[in-house]
Amino acid sequence: VMALVPCNPELGDPQGKPSWVMDLKEYFNRIGFTGQNAKADLESLFTIHRLHVMSIAFENLSLHSGEKTSMDLNIIYDKIVKKGRGGWCLENNLLFSWVLKEMGYKSTILSSKVFNSQEQAFLPKDTHLINLVEVDDKQYIADVSFGESCQIWYPLELISDKEQPQPPGVFRLLSNGETWTLQKTGRKQHVLNEGFANCSFIDKQLTKQIYCFTMTPRTTEHFLEAEEHLQTSPDSLFVLKSICSMHMPTGFKVLVGWTYTEVTFEKDSDLVDIRNVPDCEIESVLREKFNMQLENKFTPKNNKGHYVF
């Protein structure tokens, strides 16, 4: 369906592809995975899923740095693995699909429609890419790139109406026979800075729908139109706002425009620490908090548009 590695550089390449080969061990080093000879079992799947979420940011900074995203796996690998960047779902989950296959897992790309909480409806387009993985005759949804509070740390077993608790909250998958819906019940968010108590980013809804999907296998071509829409449409959230988020063992951190937030998961609530970042500190926040250095000039953006984390 898609070329997973560049052609042999010794043969030359008229299409200008890179002179390196995608290397699973290099990806393992990127996420800090030490099980270089790991088996394609459930334990390894859970481990690499969590490490990816903890090591690679969900971000759309390319759109605000004069760049475009791509669904060419070689370009994605170069960006995320070699250059230390993150990406959005179409990049991160496509890379993860390659990782799964290289490790020997039986996996399939699926598409999903994200729930718009403002419209109280699922978006009409398939804009989110996820992976279906089969291990020991059971199926799991792997998704390393939804970001913020709805990001799963571990794959979810594909079983209807089963509560699957994880540090960000309790997730559940619901099936009506053809369509599956992912839901999450979280904790109340407690804002530490009084000046941000009414910040529009704060999600007051504890139980929410995240996205829906069917079991129809997809190829990268299925997402090309959505990819173009997400990075060019004036009403696209990713065009309106620059977003960079990453999970950590205690919670997650996110930079939206000039607003930096750290969320700490507690037993009964999430502690939310919000502050504004001046232009002169944006670069250091990206470097120190997300271990990321951009090649091109980055212009933060936070235009009007419904967004909660």
Q: What amino acid positions are annotated as catalytic residues? A: 89, 128, 143
Instruction: Name the nearest CA neighbour of 102 among 73, 137, 59.
Output: 73
The set of residues, in sequence order, having a beta carbon less than 8 Å from that of 299 and lying 6+ positions away, is 64, 65, 242
Beta strands in the chain (DSSP E): 58-59, 106-116, 121-122, 128-135, 138-142, 156-157, 164-166, 169-175, 180-185, 188-191, 207-213, 243-248, 251-256, 259-265, 269-276
Q: For the beta carbon of residue 25, count every other beta carbon within 10 angstroms.
A: 9
- Rg of the chain over all Cα atoms, to the nearest angstrom: 19
